[in-house]
């Protein structure tokens, strides 16, 4: 096995261990020392547990030593976003209010990775409760973009994207509520998958906005991302919204040509506000897909401009309900020395939550309140349907939709942190798929003159991840 940062693939690692060319323990040590060397300047990991990882690796090496076939993700070094639970491991959700909390159960997606032989190196930094687009909202400090240390890695799964980009993990799990996998994947030059709502169980995910939250993989290439999704996808009795639809082999059709596929390009995603270099990179990518035989069709998704306001009403409303559980009674932080229960609630939340989380709880409570519910929350739910119908109509004409993932490459740390609306606009091309429940993937598609990665977003029909992976593979090989 090569020790260079990008050469190791999931299949390559498993095969090398199977053939006895290396061991899972050796692979784990290589990545452990990379974390020790790189992460002091990146800050992608919130916790690492070398002993635990080596114990997982030892199990793989015992199977390999017996010559028995290895499971799909055997010996593959993973990182897990810290909003997902692993029994006995700290799960902070990037918040002080969960400092020291050790969940007594494991998320379904994490459990499925472990069952497939993955090795967990540690838990990954993120915006507090996954609320943010830059990772600057983590209570434990920002993550720095491996491509430019003065820039953000994107968010909220900033640690998940940066860890892959810096070669500190082969793949990671992130979560995406309004763009939190795809946008950091774009900023860090990796592949990030938003699975269809219901494709991956949310059991064990610390909830932000339950009708939007999704778990998905980040990896260095489309094939690895597709492999990981195949492992974590599928019905789970612990999540009533998880789909009973069978999980196809996402890697089976990856290399099929895009010849004859109909790919839509929505005018609304190339309008005012799109950075010139991003536009040029995405248009060049689209031209190469056309040259490869795809039929490129202009389409319209007319309600796109209403997506951000719709998202910030629905997501904050759901967050205000979900985060009510953090009350200092059952787990996590409790503010000391309060005379009454009400004072304890108040002081715990005041101490435990950061500014953006407080902002969203207040906004969400307001839009749900009597007298404002119809004007804000109900209105946003109605517009959510219009946005979704835009996509359903488009997918009668095209097989997938091509857009930029984000309007700009990675911005500077501190650049938008004083202006919430400007920060929210970083998600302008990603929140639409979140609201509609469709699937998407961000795939690297060129770089800016300054060397910053640019991502193309490929959106697909509900439960049609196979198609977006196929297009993504074509973009990757352009």
**How many residues does this entry show for the chain?**
478
Binding status of residue 274 toward another protein by CB under 8 A: no
Q: Which one among 65, 115, 343, 450 touches another protein, defined by CB under 8 A?
A: 343
Contact pattern from residue 42 through residue 61 relative to another protein, giving x for each residue in contact according to CB under 8 A and a dash for the rest: --------------------
Contact partners, residue 447, CB within 8 Å, separation at least 6: 189, 281, 453, 454
Query: Dihedral (C-alpha) 223, 134, 102, 243: value to the nearest 10 degrees?
Result: -50
Q: Which of 331, 351, 476, 478 binds another protein (CB under 8 A)?
A: 331
* Least CB distance to another protein at residue 449 (A): 32
Coil, strand or helix at 346: helix
Q: Of the candidates 36, 65, 375, 450, which one interacts with another protein according to CB under 8 A?
A: 375
Instruction: Examine the residue annotation and report whether 157 is marked as an active-site residue of this protein.
Output: no
Rank residues 103 and 174 by Cβ distance to another protein and give the closer one. 103
Which of 156, 243, 320, 448 is an active site residue? 156
Nearer to another protein, 191 or 363 (CB): 363
Q: Which is nearer to another protein, 101 or 270 (CB)?
A: 101
Q: Contacts with another protein: how many residues (CB under 8 A)?
A: 69
Q: Considering only 59-67, 180-188, 234-242, 404-412, which stretch makes contact with another protein by CB under 8 A?
A: 234-242
156 is catalytic: yes
Q: Which of 184, 264, 404, 437 binds another protein (CB under 8 A)?
A: 437
* Listed residue (47, 193, 58, 190) closest to 119, CA to CA: 58
Bond from prior residue into 156 cis (ω within 30 degrees of 0)? yes
Pick the binder of another protein from 17, 228, 301, 380 (CB under 8 A).
380
Task: State in angstroms the smallest separation of the CB of 344 from another protein.
Answer: 5
Q: Which of 9, 95, 157, 180 is catalytic?
A: 180
Task: Rank residues 414 and 451 by Cβ distance to another protein and give the closer one.
Answer: 414
* Closest distance to another protein from the beta carbon of 269 (Å): 18
**Pairing of β 191-194 and β 439-447:** antiparallel
Packed helices 222-232 and 108-115: angle between N→C axes, nearest 10 degrees: 110
- Rounded Cα gap, residues 338 and 294, in angstroms: 65
x/- binding map, residues 162-201, to another protein, per CB under 8 A? -----------------------------------xx---
Q: Does 417 bind another protein (CB under 8 A)?
A: no
CA 286 distance to own-chain centroid: 24
Give 172 or 388: the residue with its C-beta nearer to another protein. Answer: 388
Considering only 31, 78, 89, 101, the residue that binds another protein (CB under 8 A) is 101
Active-site residue, from 81, 160, 320, 416: 81
Q: Is 395 in the site for another protein (CB under 8 A)?
A: yes
> Using CB under 8 A, which of 363, 402, 452, 475 touches another protein?
363
Nearest to 187 by CA among 415, 435, 411, 420: 411
- 308 touching another protein, by CB under 8 A: yes
Contacts of 394 (CB under 8 A, 6+ apart): 264, 266, 299, 300, 301, 401
Neighbours of 64 (CB within 10 A): 22
Is position 180 annotated as part of the catalytic site? yes
CB of 387 to another protein, least distance (A): 9
Residues 469, 164, 168, 47: is their CA dihedral positive or negative?
Answer: negative
Residue of 450, 437, 445 whose CA lies nearest to 214: 437
Q: Which is nearer to another protein, 78 or 353 (CB)?
A: 353
Contact positions with another protein (CB under 8 A) in 196-225: 197-198, 211
Q: In what order do the strands lie in the sheet with 45-48?
A: 45-48, 119-124, 77-81, 171-176, 214-219, 191-194, 439-447, 453-460, 400-404, 262-266, 295-299
First to last CA, the chain: 26
Q: Give the residue carrying structure tokens 């020395």.
A: 337
Residue 17 CA to residue 122 CA, distance in Å, equals: 21
Stretch that binds another protein, among 145-153, 222-230, 338-346, 446-454 (CB under 8 A): 338-346
| Among 469, 465, 468, 472, residue whose Cα is nearest residue 199 | 465
Instruction: Say which residues have a Cβ less than 8 Å from residue 345's Cβ, sequence separation at least 6.
Output: 327, 328
Ramachandran sector of residue 227 (left: φ over 0; alpha: ψ -120 to 50; beta: rest): alpha
Q: Which residues bind another protein (CB under 8 A)?
A: 101-105, 197-198, 211, 235, 237, 240-241, 243-245, 303, 305-306, 308-310, 312-313, 328-334, 338-341, 343-344, 355, 358-359, 362-363, 366-367, 375-376, 378-386, 388-389, 392, 395-396, 419-421, 424, 436-437, 461-464
* Residues designated catalytic: 81, 156, 180
């Amino acid at each position: 096995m090569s020790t260079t940062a990008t050469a190791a693939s999931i299949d390559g690692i498993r095969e090398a261990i199977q053939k006895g060319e290396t061991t899972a323990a050796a692979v784990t040590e290589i990545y452990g020392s990379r974390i020790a060397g790189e992460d002091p300047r990146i800050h992608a990991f919130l916790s690492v547990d070398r002993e635990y990882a080596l114990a997982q690796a030892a199990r793989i090496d015992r199977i390999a030593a017996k010559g028995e076939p290895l499971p799909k993700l055997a010996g593959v070094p993973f990182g897990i976003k810290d909003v997902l639970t692993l029994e006995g491991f700290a799960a902070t959700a990037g918040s002080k209010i969960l400092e020291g909390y050790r969940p007594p159960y494991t998320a379904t997606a994490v459990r499925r990775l472990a069952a497939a032989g993955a090795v967990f190196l540690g838990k990954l930094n993120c915006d507090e409760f996954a609320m943010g687009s830059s990772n600057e909202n983590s209570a434990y400090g920002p993550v720095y973009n491996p491509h430019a240390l003065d820039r953000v890695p994107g968010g909220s799964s900033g640690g998940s994207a940066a860890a892959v980009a810096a070669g500190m993990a082969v793949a990671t799990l992130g979560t995406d509520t309004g763009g939190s996998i795809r946008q950091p994947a774009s900023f860090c030059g990796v592949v990030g998958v938003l699975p269809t709502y219901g494709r991956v169980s949310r059991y064990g995910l610390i909830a932000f906005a339950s009708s939007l939250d999704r778990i998905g993989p980040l990896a260095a290439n489309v094939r690895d991302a597709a492999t990981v999704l195949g492992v974590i996808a599928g019905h789970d009795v612990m999540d009533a919204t998880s789909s009973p639809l069978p999980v196809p082999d996402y890697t089976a059709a990856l290399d099929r040509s895009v010849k004859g596929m109909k790919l839509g390009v929505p005018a609304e995603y190339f309008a005012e506000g799109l950075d010139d270099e991003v536009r040029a990179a995405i248009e060049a990518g689209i031209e190469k897909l056309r040259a490869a035989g795809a039929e490129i069709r202009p389409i319209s998704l007319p309600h796109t401009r209403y997506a951000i306001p719709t998202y910030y009403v629905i997501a904050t409303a759901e967050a205000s309900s979900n985060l009510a559980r953090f009350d200092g009674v059952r787990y996590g932080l409790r503010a000391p020395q309060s005379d009454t229960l009400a004072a304890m609630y108040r002081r715990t939340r005041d101490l435990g939550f950061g500014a953006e989380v407080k902002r969203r709880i207040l906004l969400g409570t307001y839009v749900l309140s009597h007298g404002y519910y119809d004007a804000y929350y109900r209105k946003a739910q109605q517009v959510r349907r219009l946005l979704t119908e835009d996509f359903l109509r488009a997918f009668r004409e095209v097989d997938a939709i091509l857009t930029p993932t984000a309007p700009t490459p990675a911005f500077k740390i501190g650049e938008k942190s004083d202006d919430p609306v400007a920060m929210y606009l970083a998600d302008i091309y990603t929140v639409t798929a979140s609201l509609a429940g469709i699937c998407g993937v961000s795939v690297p598609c060129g770089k800016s003159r300054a060397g910053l990665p640019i991502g193309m977003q490929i959106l697909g029909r509900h439960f049609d991840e196979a198609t977006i992976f196929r297009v993504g593979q074509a973009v990757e090989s352009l």
